Amino acid sequence: MYELKDQEMIFVFTGPNGAGRRTVAEMSGTTLGIKQVLSYTTRPPRPGEVDGEDYHFISGEAFIEADRRQEFMEVIEIDGFMYGIKDSDLAEMIQAGNAIYVVLNRYGAEMLKQLYGKNVVRISIYADRETILARQRDRGDSALMIERYMSHYDEEMAYRSECEHAFENIDSAHTMFDLTKILDGYLNRNLLDLD
Ligand SMILES: Nc1ncnc2c1ncn2[C@@H]1O[C@H](COP(=O)(O)OP(=O)(O)OP(=O)(O)O)[C@@H](O)[C@H]1O
Ligand SMILES: Nc1nc2c(ncn2[C@@H]2O[C@H](COP(=O)(O)O)[C@@H](O)[C@H]2O)c(=O)[nH]1
């Protein structure tokens, strides 16, 4: 397992599916020059998702093989699909930039926090059920997918209280503004004068 240096930071975006975690993380990440370490998954891409941008989409066989070689930091099955982040990806990207972000469910967030303590900052991005349902419908998620995602809503919302920060994502520009200020503070770069 990669050993983080004192100044290296991992920002973990968590919260319910459809809350806008990936959207606001990418906006703030782009502003601050922080890249995402992508998960590997056996889930098929949703319409519009791109291999190497949203996930590394791999076969079940490839996932099992990588797991056998102990390449993943954690392996989790969610609704019949496998997910995991590779230790080597995290090490390579964090050494290149001092900070990275990931988008994980509560189990992944907890695993990283237990492993790396103060170098991990968990950020819950959330919205109420109706808002999330509307976003999922708008992006064309099937009724089955929506049911699957919403079955995790309560647990993901409950994990908010464990996180270092929580943002209700109503207006994405507003969320991104508040979020960027917080992340900039951890990075001690003082790049932004947003007040
Ligand atoms: N503040 C917002 N207002 C309206 N729509 C938003 C907002 N934030 C994100 N969205 C839209 O909601 C949908 C879900 O966003 P996003 O994919 O970022 O969510 P997520 O929490 O990462 O969930 P998932 O992992 O299921 O993709 C996308 O279509 C995105 O464009
Ligand atoms: N614990 C982990 N959670 C992960 C990982 N990669 C993604 N996720 C989270 O799983 C759910 C379902 O994802 P979806 O894209 O199929 O809807 C969602 O909360 C993701 O953020 C991982 O490697 N570990």
Please write the tens of the pLDDT for every residue from 93-112. Answer: 999 999 999 999 999 999 99
User: Residue 189 has what pLDDT?
Assistant: 67
Give the mean pLDDT of 128-132: 97
Task: Using most ligand atoms within 8 A of CB, pick from 23, 125, 177 the residue to mutate for ligand 1.
Answer: 23
pTM for this predicted structure: 0.96
Instruction: State which of 135, 148, 152, 172 you would mutate to test the pocket of ligand 1, scoring each by most atoms of that ligand within 8 A of its C-beta.
Output: 135
Domains, the chain, ranges and CATH? 9-184 (3.40.50.300)
Residue 118 scores a pLDDT above 90: yes
Quote the ligand 2 centre to 105 CA distance (angstroms). Answer: 5
Q: Is the per-residue pLDDT at 191 higher than 80? A: no
pLDDT at residue 6 in the model:
87
Dihedral sign from CA coordinates of 31, 187, 156, 172: negative
pLDDT given at position 193: 56
pLDDT at 38 > cutoff 90: yes
Range 42-46 average pLDDT: 95
Measure the CA–CA gap between 109 and 15, rounded to whole angstroms. Answer: 10
Residue 1 — very low, low, confident or very high, per pLDDT cuts 50/70/90? confident
